[in-house]
Amino acid sequence: MRIFEPKAVGTMAPATKLVVYGILGLWTLIVLFPLYWVLITSFKLPIHVFDGPNYLPFIDFLPSLHAWRYIFFDLGRDTFRPYGNSLIVAATSTALAVTAGALAAYALSRIEFRPRLLSIGVFLLVMSAAIVAVALSGADWRIAAASGVALFVLAARATRRLPSPQLGNAEILFWMISQRILPPVVTVVPIYVMLQQAGLLDTRTALVLTYTTVNLPIVVWLMYDFFISIPRELEESAAIDGASRFRIFREIVLPLAKPGLVATALLVFILAWNEYLLALFLSTVKAQTIPLLVAAQNATRGPQWWYMSVLITIMILPVIALTILLQRFIAKGLLLGALKG
Amino acid sequence: MKTARLAEWMDRHSGPIFVLPAVLLILAFSIFPLVISAWLALSQFRLGIGGYEIRFVGLLNFKKLLTGSQQFHFLGTFAEIPLLGWLIVALVFGTLAVAAGRYVTLGRVSVIGVVGRLISFTLIGALAVLFATTLGGQIGSLSTTLFYVIVGVTLQFLVGTGLAFLCAQNIRGRSFFRLVFFVPLMVTPVGTAYTFRMLADTTVGPFAPIWGWLGLGNFAWAADPWTARLVIVLGDSWQWIPFIFIVMLAAFESQPRDQVEAAQVDGASTFQIFRDITWPSVAPVAATVVLIRVIEAFKIVDLPNVLTNGGPGIATESLTLHAFIEWRALNLGGSAAIAYLLLFVATVLCVSFVNMIVVPMRRSRQ
- pLDDT (tens digit, 9 = 90+) per residue, B307-363? 888 878 888 999 999 999 998 888 888 999 999 999 999 999 999 998 888 888 777
pLDDT at residue number A341: 41
Which chain B residues are Cβ-neighbours of A319 within 8 angstroms? Answer: 186
Query: What is the mean pLDDT of the segment spanning B68-91?
Result: 90
Query: What is the mean pLDDT of the segment spanning B204-227?
Result: 81
A50: closest CA of chain B, how far (Å): 6
Model confidence at A334, pLDDT cuts 50, 70, 90, reads: low
* Rounded distance between C-alpha atoms, residue B161 and residue B171, angstroms: 17
What residue of B is the nearest CA neighbor of A310?
B191
pLDDT at residue A96 tops 90 = yes
Q: What is the bridge-based pairing of β-strands A302-303 and B43-48? A: unpaired
**What b/e string do you get for B48-64 counting C-beta neighbours within 10 Å, with b at 16 or more?**
eeeeeeeeeeeebbbeb
Which chain B residues are Cβ-neighbours of A9 within 8 angstroms? Answer: 261, 264-265
* Rounded distance between C-alpha atoms, residue A20 and residue A96, angstroms: 43
A315: closest CA of chain B, how far (Å): 8
What residue of A is the nearest CA neighbor of B299?
A183
- Partner-chain contact B186 A323, CB within 8 Å: yes
- pLDDT (tens digit, 9 = 90+) per residue, A141-190? 778 888 888 888 888 888 777 877 888 888 888 888 888 888 898 899 88
Question: Do residues A285 and A203 touch, judged by C-beta distance below 8 A?
Answer: no
* Rounded distance between C-alpha atoms, residue A70 and residue A285, angstroms: 19
Model confidence at A3, pLDDT cuts 50, 70, 90, reads: low
- Partner-chain contact B247 A327, CB within 8 Å: no
Question: Do residues B141 and B341 touch, judged by C-beta distance below 8 A?
Answer: no
A257: closest CA of chain B, how far (Å): 16
pLDDT at residue number A324: 86
Q: What is the CA radius of gyration of chain A?
A: 26
What percentage of chain B exceeds 70 in pLDDT? Answer: 97
- pLDDT (tens digit, 9 = 90+) per residue, A178-189? 888 888 988 998
A19 contact partners, CB below 8 Å, separation of at least 6: none
- Partner-chain contact B343 A183, CB within 8 Å: yes
Handedness of CA A317, B293, A214, A287 (dihedral sign): positive
pLDDT at residue A103 tops 90 = yes
- Partner-chain contact A10 B261, CB within 8 Å: yes
pLDDT at residue A1 tops 60 = no
Test mutation, B181, B190, B203, chain A, max A CBs within 10 A: B190
